[in-house]
Amino acid sequence: MINKLIRYTLIGLGIAVFGLALTVFFQYKQLQTTRIFSRVDEKIQVELNKLALFKIERRIRKEGIFPPHNVAEVKVDVPLSYPLDDLLRKAKNGFNSPEIQVLGFREENTKDTYKFYLDAGQDGLLTHKLIFSLKKAKIALLIDDFGYTNDDRLISTFFQEIPVPLTISIIPGTHFAEKIAKEAQRQKKQILVHLPMQPRGKFVNRYKWIILKGMSGEKIEETAREAIESIPYAQGLNNHMGSLVTTQKELMEPLLQVLKEKKMFFVDSRTSPSSIGYSLARKLGVKSTFNCVFLDNKKEESYIENQFKKLLSKGIEKGWALGLGHSNIETALALKKLVKECDNRKINFVFCSDILN
């Protein structure tokens, strides 16, 4: 009986000692992981401040079982203008800090955003999951003046060889307008009506449908409706010429009312710096956007390339931009080359309808 009591007592003491040792070990590991987390956390915050990355969302939760330890999920918004390759290099190197050990890295490039994920810690312990996210600039390319020609090389280059969303604008009443619209629809391009409007100064009127100074509101509405109906699959309208008409409210308002009625959008080609087309459209409740850069006022590759760079710069500066070109082979070949050279981590090519206000 006594031996049994001693045996049970020893077992109980053993369990108590084991429990005490386990508690001490647990507390030691907890203290150790807390210190590691604090060291890495402090250094990461310092490094992010050095990089001038201040739009940060931070959340801490417990992970693991024995013992559970702090892991911070840090979401960092990266500005479009930030030198991305430099940031990637520094991140992969643990920001050149001995306190930060990189435990994992991966990239994710979707249509709208580019992200990279960095797992960091120390001594093999994961303490931080960093997510760097960059919202891409939306760049819309609008190509005007379709309808005059059905040149196979021109059409195939624009419709098949430029591997990004493309919006085309067709002049109503031109010989190939309907045929081009149907082919564009088949090739999944976005289609606009490129409606002629009177410019300032002298011009030669060779157009079946055109908005002219002195037209009544009823005549403008009739002209707009007929022109729109002549272009199959058109989702919106932009002005061809129009440096006079787009500055006159009494001429633009009837047109925009037709677009509103038909649930179509308006693109202000900005052929005049005094154009009220975009602002009036917004006031009337018509979805609208506007041209930011003329790409090919000179049909030279070097000129188009410089204008394209301006377009990208504007897009990176404000998050979106629209570039306007014309249906000529020089523009087609230049764009075919230029879009392939773009950094697809920062640039998302879209239709005009994706940048409406």
In tens, the pLDDT along 309-319 reads 999 999 999 99
Tell me whether residue 300 is in a domain: yes
Statement: the pTM of the whole predicted model exceeds 0.95? no
Tell me whether residue 5 is in a domain: no
Spatial CB neighbours of 201, under 8 Å, sequence gap ≥ 6:
none
Tell me whether residue 61 is in a domain: yes
Note the pLDDT tens digit of each residue in 289-299: 999 999 999 99
Same domain for 66 and 94?
Answer: yes
Point out the domain boundary residue: 75, 101, 135: 135
Note the pLDDT tens digit of each residue in 328-351: 999 999 999 999 999 999 999 999
Give the amino acid at 282: R
Point out the domain boundary residue: 135, 160, 176: 135
Q: What is the domain-level CATH number for residue 279? A: 3.20.20.370
- Tokens 């100074």 locate to 213
Same domain for 290 and 317?
Answer: yes
Beta 347-350 vs 137-146: how paired, if at all? parallel
The pLDDT of residue 66 is: 63
Pairwise CA distance, residues 120 & 94, whole Å: 8
Q: Which two tokens stand for residue 308?
A: 């394209």
Same domain for 119 and 169?
Answer: no
Pairwise CA distance, residues 177 & 142, whole Å: 16
6: pLDDT confidence band, cut at 50, 70 and 90? low
Spatial CB neighbours of 153, under 8 Å, sequence gap ≥ 6:
329
119: pLDDT confidence band, cut at 50, 70 and 90? very high
Greater confidence (350 vs 17) lies with 350
Same domain for 219 and 336?
Answer: yes
The pLDDT of residue 213 is: 97
Tell me whether residue 211 is in a domain: yes
Same domain for 117 and 157?
Answer: no
Same domain for 183 and 308?
Answer: yes
Same domain for 107 and 152?
Answer: no
Note the pLDDT tens digit of each residue in 45-77: 999 999 998 889 999 998 777 678 899 999 999
15: pLDDT confidence band, cut at 50, 70 and 90? low
Spatial CB neighbours of 89, under 8 Å, sequence gap ≥ 6:
none
Same domain for 56 and 131?
Answer: yes
Note the pLDDT tens digit of each residue in 160-183: 999 999 999 999 999 999 999 999
Beta 293-294 vs 320-326: how paired, if at all? parallel
Residue 12 scores a pLDDT above 80 = no
Same domain for 261 and 335?
Answer: yes
7: pLDDT confidence band, cut at 50, 70 and 90? low
Same domain for 268 and 150?
Answer: yes
Residue 265 scores a pLDDT above 70 = yes
Tell me whether residue 173 is in a domain: yes
Domain count, the chain: 2
3 state DSSP class of 67: coil
The pLDDT of residue 24 is: 44
The pLDDT of residue 8 is: 60
Residue 11 scores a pLDDT above 70 = no
Residue 145 scores a pLDDT above 90 = yes
CB atoms within 10 A of CB 244: 20
Q: Is 321:137 a contact under the CB 8 Å cutoff? A: yes
Tell me whether residue 22 is in a domain: no
Q: Which domain holds residue 69?
A: 37-135
Same domain for 130 and 142?
Answer: no
3-state secondary structure 68-97: CEEEEEEEEECCCCCCHHHHHHHHHCHHHC
Point out the domain boundary residue: 99, 120, 135: 135
Same domain for 298 and 188?
Answer: yes
User: Closest Cα to residue 260, out of 283, 229, 290, 293?
Assistant: 283
Q: Is 194:170 a contact under the CB 8 Å cutoff? A: yes
Tell me whether residue 123 is in a domain: yes
